[in-house]
Amino acid sequence: MYLQPNSRTFASLDADYSDWHKGRDQFSLWYLEIEDTACRDYLNTLQQQFQPFLYMPNYRQWHITLFVCGFWQAPFHLQHLSDHFHERQLQQQIDLLHQLQAESFELKLGGIRSYQSALFLDVIDEQNILLQLRRCFWPVAKEIDAMIYCPHVTLGLYRDEFPANEILQQMNQTQTQTWTVKFRHLTFGSYQARELQGELSAHYHFLLG
């Protein structure tokens, strides 16, 4: 849900969330790495302007989530759970990506916006490239995140319940620019489920033509 005037943000708590991970460690996803140094500096600058509102530390690399797969490489006795992602499913998705024969592509980073739980930048996909890529994942596995897919770059999670009007006012006062980013590969990786805003670990790169 987008942040609305006269509301409050949701606080992200550094908790264990054992009901979610059930003892499993690696939560996996397909994503696009933002590797352009100047663009990363720009994102760091934006994040710093909102740092009093955001959960820190935040070690997660700048990226665009493409498809949320679920837990993988879990112990055998937990692989029956509905949010487990099997390695055979990963291989099937890779096979479909090969059939697509996608070329390298560009996306634009746009204005700053906010969910109730997180601050983010819009991603502008004029050619609907992300939809084509995501179609390689749907036949194989049900996406874990049931929300409507909205490509974005997360600047940070809110660390407390702040008045929305304070956030919205600063957003209106923050200067942004449209930034074009080129992507030459897709990444399959994971993060540690018990660590809030921990690093992404890349396990596989799918090179684009």
pLDDT tens digits for range 37-60: 999 999 999 999 999 999 999 999
pLDDT at 99: 97
Name the pLDDT band for 16 (thresholds 50, 70, 90). confident
The identity of residue 147, as a single letter, is M
Average pLDDT for 70-87: 95
pLDDT at 15: 87
Give the 3-state secondary structure percentages of the chain, helix then strand then coil, rounded to 5.
25, 30, 45
Q: What is the DSSP letter of 71?
A: E
Residue 124 has pLDDT above 70, yes or no: yes
Pairwise CA distance, residues 125 & 54, whole Å: 27
Greater pLDDT, 86 or 15? 86
Question: CB-based contacts of 120: which residues, under 8 Å, 6+ apart?
Answer: 112, 113, 114, 152, 153, 154, 155
pLDDT at 13: 87
What is the value of pTM for the model shown? 0.96
Residue 168 has pLDDT above 70, yes or no: yes
Let me know: does 85 contact 142? Beta carbons within 8 Å.
no
Residue 146 has pLDDT above 70, yes or no: no
pLDDT at 145: 78
pLDDT at 166: 97
Let me know: does 39 contact 153? Beta carbons within 8 Å.
no
Please list the residues that pair with 118 across neighbouring strands: 157
Name the pLDDT band for 147 (thresholds 50, 70, 90). confident
Pairwise CA distance, residues 76 & 15, whole Å: 25
What is the overall mean pLDDT for the chain?
96
Name the pLDDT band for 148 (thresholds 50, 70, 90). confident
